[in-house]
């Protein structure tokens, strides 16, 4: 069943090839061919998502050829009625009015004619077409399977049949096209080529695959510490700020959107600090202005789930659409931002495929809430976390996952950070939790500018999008860089510090406000913004600042068995001086990610903040 999940990955890879500048003279030169099983085509939901995506703006590839290898069993189903509820395994394709061609797998020439007809249809109408090739499986589900155990009558018929090769050879001999000796000679030649390890089919024209392949050589042999200059000059920021806040004459903005645009004008003038939405938009604008393409999809991404992005604007009188990021200059790179269909698995697979075929674009997928990424867990497990080790396939895909415990209940609080960290090994991906607008600006730019291509899992905020303390300045964009570890921000005496609180995400601001309220001078707060690969050197440098340190506390909002604590504890310990003890301040272990009662949430939140700041006893980590 995992095999079907490659469907949208292939489509994304093809879309990237079609859109790479100066690559293919005609977009039709690249198109997907997907081979399915009869049981999986009818049974796997990802097939429906693949078909539903086929004609949408974000995901169309101008038609896919689907070939169903219909062996009439699937796996070991003993009764065909158990495999599906439709008459044909291909009936699902009727949802998009795709032509379905049923063909006898024993009829070689009919199969060839069917393929040619399908290709002609795809090239003419740029839509999907399905070939249902009815055949059989000679040896059962696998090499050790005994198919007569569950399909005795079917295999009596199969064992009595001639093979397709024998049937076709007999046909050609009856038509006096070849002789028996000719047939045997072809068989012997084929076997000899196999024995010698030679190809048995015509090879692609020399150099053709290399000519149209993306060049990944510049991205080899780099590690995550490779430097990247992500700052942007003030002059360029001023220019981009004007472009992202400009609309055509007589364009009627919606009232709330107009207020956001006016605020961004003030931010660019230095009259207001930068918020998350403005800094994020500037990151995209700066990349586009430098000739680096940006592709961004997901549910509600153009507006932003939390009404903060507004990459696409709509005239309230005419309904006309305008995207400022697509109108920066005549020389800018291509900008794509699409609201996806309501899919996580198919949509994420598509963007992984796109990113694996285009190393030069910033390719992003955002979950509406981080919690919803678990719907696409197969893509994370099979491709994103392990693609490099299994196939030596790089990907610069960025996942944006809104995350944070704010009393919204267990379905809208957690991107399951612990699951991503559990999958981390051998520098296979990056997991970051930026907490300021400048951090997201530099992080997104770093992902493309740095010659290092591994997926980036980004836990983004919700309440911080408009938090009065979660702001940055234009100078932070002009002069800064992404900080894996953010030091203490208040002016404190390092000699007085006896406890160091480490955290990530929005809980930092609650800790900061409570410490200021209580006027605590012996506790420093440091943010770890990159959890993997873990920034040992940066954290050790911060710890070294405090000569009288006795305790370190890891503070998190998530339950103890979730979040970063269990996976990161050993990394914290290896950075600590031997005499320093590590404590935990957070929720107890829970089956669900968060409480369903707001009152209980606030009680738990106050308790973990109190424990972190020494107002309540914290738990010693063992």
Backbone φ and ψ of 270, nearest 5°: 80, 10
Distance CA 350, CA 21 (A): 19
Query: With 70 as the cut, is the pLDDT of residue 326 above it?
Result: yes
3-28 confidence digits (pLDDT tens): 899 999 999 999 999 998 666 666 77
Place 149 in a pLDDT band, splitting at 50, 70 and 90: confident
pLDDT of residue 134: 97
Mean pLDDT computed over every residue of the chain: 94
Place 140 in a pLDDT band, splitting at 50, 70 and 90: confident
Structure tokens at 448: 């493309």
Alpha-helical regions (H) of 358-414? 377-379, 387-391
Backbone φ and ψ of 85, nearest 5°: -105, -10
Identify the burial level of 515 via C-beta atoms within 10 angstroms of its C-beta, where 0-12 means exposed, 13-18 middle and 19 or more buried.
Answer: buried
Closest C-alpha among 547, 528, 550 to residue 537: 528
Instruction: Name residue 104's beta-bridge partners.
Output: 134
Place 2 in a pLDDT band, splitting at 50, 70 and 90: confident
pLDDT of residue 23: 60
pLDDT of residue 139: 84
Is the CA virtual torsion 250, 251, 255, 261 positive or negative? negative
Closest C-alpha among 341, 354, 403 to residue 374: 403
Closest C-alpha among 37, 171, 64 to residue 109: 171
Q: What is the DSSP string of 579-593?
A: T-EEEEEEEPP-SSS
Model pTM above 0.85: yes
Distance CA 466, CA 544 (A): 34
37-93 confidence digits (pLDDT tens): 999 999 999 999 999 999 999 999 999 999 999 998 887 777 778 888 999 999 999
379-419 confidence digits (pLDDT tens): 999 999 999 999 999 999 999 999 999 999 999 999 999 99
173-206 confidence digits (pLDDT tens): 999 999 999 999 999 999 999 999 998 887 665 5
Is the backbone peptide bond immediately before 533 cis, with ω within 30 degrees of 0? yes
Q: At what angle do helices 565-575 and 536-544 cross, to 10 degrees?
A: 60
pLDDT of residue 194: 95
Name residue, tokens 């992005």. Answer: 309
Place 606 in a pLDDT band, splitting at 50, 70 and 90: very high
Domains annotated on the chain, with CATH:
2-161 (3.40.50.970), 234-479 (3.40.50.12470), 485-620 (3.40.50.11610)
257-310 confidence digits (pLDDT tens): 999 999 999 999 999 999 999 999 999 999 999 999 999 999 999 999 999 999
Name residue, tokens 């940066």. Answer: 538
Q: Which helix (H) or strand (E) holds 183?
A: helix 180-195
Query: With 60 as the cut, is the pLDDT of residue 481 above it?
Result: yes
pLDDT of residue 24: 62
Mean pLDDT of 454-482: 97
pLDDT of residue 117: 98
pLDDT of residue 319: 97
pLDDT of residue 73: 83
């Amino acid at each position: 069943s995992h095999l079907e999940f490659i469907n949208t990955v292939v489509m994304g890879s093809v879309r990237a090839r079609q859109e790479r500048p100066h690559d293919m003279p005609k977009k039709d030169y690249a198109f997907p061919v997907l081979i399915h099983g009869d049981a999986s085509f009818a049974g796997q939901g990802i097939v429906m998502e693949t078909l539903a995506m086929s004609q949408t703006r974000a995901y169309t590839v101008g038609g896919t050829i689907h070939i169903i290898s219909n062996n009439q069993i699937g796996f070991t189903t003993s009764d065909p009625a158990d495999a599906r509820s439709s008459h044909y395994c291909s009936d699902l394709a009727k949802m998009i009015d795709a032509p379905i061609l049923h063909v006898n797998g024993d009829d070689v020439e009919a199969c060839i004619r069917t393929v040619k007809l399908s290709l002609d249809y795809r090239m003419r109408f740029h839509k999907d077409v399905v070939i249902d090739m009815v055949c059989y499986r000679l040896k059962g589900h696998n090499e050790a399977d005994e198919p007569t155990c569950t399909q005795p009558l079917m295999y009596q018929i199969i064992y009595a049949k001639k093979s397709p090769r024998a049937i076709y050879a007999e046909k050609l001999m009856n038509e006096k096209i070849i002789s028996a000796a000719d047939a045997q000679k072809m068989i012997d030649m084929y076997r000899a080529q196999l024995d010698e390890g030679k190809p048995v089919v015509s090879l692609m024209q020399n150099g053709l695959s290399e000519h149209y392949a993306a060049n990944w050589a510049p991205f080899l042999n780099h590690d995550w510490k490779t430097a990247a200059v992500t700052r942007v000059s003030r002059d360029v920021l001023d220019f981009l700020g004007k472009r992202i806040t400009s609309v055509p004459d007589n364009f009627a903005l919606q009232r709330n959107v107009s207020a956001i645009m006016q605020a961004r004008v003030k931010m660019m003038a230095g009259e207001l600090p930068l918020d998350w939405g403005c800094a994020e938009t500037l990151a995209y604008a700066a990349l586009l202005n430098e000739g680096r393409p940006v592709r961004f999809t997901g549910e509600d991404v153009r507006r932003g789930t939390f009404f903060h992005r507004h990459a696409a604007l709509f005239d309230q009188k005419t309904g006309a659409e305008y995207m400022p990021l697509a109108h920066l200059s005549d020389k800018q790179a291509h900008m794509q931002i699409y609201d996806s269909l309501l899919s996580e698995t198919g949509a994420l697979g598509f963007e992984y495929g796109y990113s694996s075929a285009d190393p030069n674009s910033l390719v992003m997928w955002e979950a509406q809430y981080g919690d919803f990424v678990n719907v696409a867990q197969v893509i994370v497990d099979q491709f994103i976390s392990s693609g490099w080790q299994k196939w030596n396939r790089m990907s610069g895909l960025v996942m944006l996952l809104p995350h944070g415990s704010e009393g919204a209940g267990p379905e809208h609080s957690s991107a399951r950070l612990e699951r991503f960290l559990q999958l981390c090994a051998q520098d296979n991906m990056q997991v970051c939790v930026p907490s300021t607008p400048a951090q997201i600006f530099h992080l997104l730019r770093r992902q493309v500018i740095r010659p290092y291509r591994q997926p980036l899992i980004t836990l983004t905020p919700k309440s911080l999008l408009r938090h009065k303390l979660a702001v940055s300045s234009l100078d932070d964009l002009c002069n800064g860089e992404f900080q894996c570890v953010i030091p203490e921000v208040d002016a404190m005496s390092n000699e007085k510090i006896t406890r160091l609180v480490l955290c990530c995400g929005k809980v930092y601001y609650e800790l900061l406000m409570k410490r200021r309220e209580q006027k605590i001078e012996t506790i420093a707060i440091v943010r770890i913004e990159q959890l993997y690969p873990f920034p040992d050197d940066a954290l050790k440098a911060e710890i070294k600042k405090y000569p009288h340190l006795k305790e370190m506390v890891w503070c998190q909002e998530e339950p103890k068995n979730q979040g970063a604590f269990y996976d990161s504890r050993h990394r914290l310990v290896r950075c600590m001086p031997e005499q320093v003890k590590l404590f935990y301040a957070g929720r107890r272990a829970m089956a669900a990610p968060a409480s369903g009662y707001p009152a209980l949430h606030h009680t738990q939140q106050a308790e973990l903040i109190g424990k972190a700041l020494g107002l309540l006893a914290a738990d010693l980590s063992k």
